[in-house]
Amino acid sequence: MKTIFLLLIISTYIMQAKKEIIYVFDPFCTWCYAMSDVVERIENEYSEDFTFVAKTGGMILGDSVGSINDNFSFLKTAYQKVEDHTGTQFGPSFKKDVLEVGDYVISSLEPSIAMTVFKSLDEKNAIKFLHKLQEAFYFDGKDIKDKVVLSELASQFGVDKSEFVKRFEDPKYLDMTNEEFAEVGKWGVSGYPAIFLRDGENLYRVSSGYQYFMDLKNIMIQIKGQTK
């Protein structure tokens, strides 16, 4: 009798377990910079219904890594399209100190490791941290590959700076980050941002590319209605 009762409890827990909304991004994706604010607002509204997860896909790695002048000169004008389409503002420090100078080297690895470390310390605030991370680069013009800058951002959420740096330098978190890149790669993500729904063992892509707040909210309303 006790066994049957325990199985009923476990079954009820599984049925009531929150579905996951997975936000797939890259720290250096301009559209993700605009989208992270939208996702944060959606998370604030639907956190009681879904668990929100942030995963990075590793957009700029290996041979893709390079300076803005050498590899990413298109950013000097492309950001304007994001501003015009979304209303998101890129800061004067980013435009002057990063874009105009052009010697900043873009690599997704370091800020992605920072995300892995942050999630190990404060997973519930991962999307909020991501938003701060991208603001630091795209508005304040800070180097989000630098562990000191990253630890200062994490400390805004109550994370201990020294513990953050310790984990950032630990090869274990590099391995975990590479595993996340591989996982996202298996999902067939070739552009960012993207949003997935994980319902038990099933994974569904629910949006690709930038979404306005009301458009994403309508998607969430549909998901919530279909997954009760």
Q: Name the β-bridge partners of 20.
A: 51, 198
Residue 25 sits at φ, ψ, to 5 deg, of -145, 180
In total, the chain counts a number of residues equal to 228
Question: Which CATH number does the domain housing residue 204 bear?
Answer: 3.40.30.10
pTM of the predicted structure, to 2 decimals: 0.89
In whole angstroms, give the CA distance from residue 105 to residue 222.
41
Q: Name the β-bridge partners of 197.
A: 21, 204
Tell me which amino acid residue 128 is: K
DSSP state of 61: -
Mode of pairing for the β-strands spanning 19-25 and 194-199: antiparallel
Would you state the pLDDT for residue 17? 66
Q: Is residue 103 part of a domain?
A: yes
Summary mean pLDDT of the chain: 91
With contact defined as beta carbons under 8 Å apart, do 73 and 106 qualify? no
In whole angstroms, give the CA distance from residue 139 to residue 121.
25
Would you state the pLDDT for residue 206? 93
Would you state the pLDDT for residue 18? 79
Q: Is residue 78 part of a domain?
A: yes
Burial class (CB in 10 A: 0-12, 13-18, 19+), 151: buried
Render pLDDT for 18-72 as a digit per residue (tens, 0 to 9). Answer: 799 999 999 999 999 999 999 999 999 999 999 999 999 999 999 999 999 999 9
Q: Is residue 36 part of a domain?
A: yes
Q: Is residue 220 part of a domain?
A: yes
Q: Is residue 188 part of a domain?
A: yes
pLDDT bracket for residue 106 (50, 70, 90): very high
Q: Name the β-bridge partners of 195.
A: 23, 207
Q: Is residue 59 part of a domain?
A: yes
Q: Is residue 45 part of a domain?
A: yes
Structural domains of the chain, count: 1
For residues 212 and 11, which has the higher predicted lDDT (pLDDT)?
212
Supply the range of the domain harboring residue 114.
Answer: 19-226
In whole angstroms, give the CA distance from residue 116 to residue 56.
9
Would you state the pLDDT for residue 190? 81
With contact defined as beta carbons under 8 Å apart, do 181 and 193 qualify? no
Q: Is residue 214 part of a domain?
A: yes
* CA dihedral sign, ordered 103, 108, 109, 113: positive
Share above pLDDT 90 across residues of the chain, in percent, rounded to a whole number: 87
With contact defined as beta carbons under 8 Å apart, do 136 and 106 qualify? no
Would you state the pLDDT for residue 110? 98
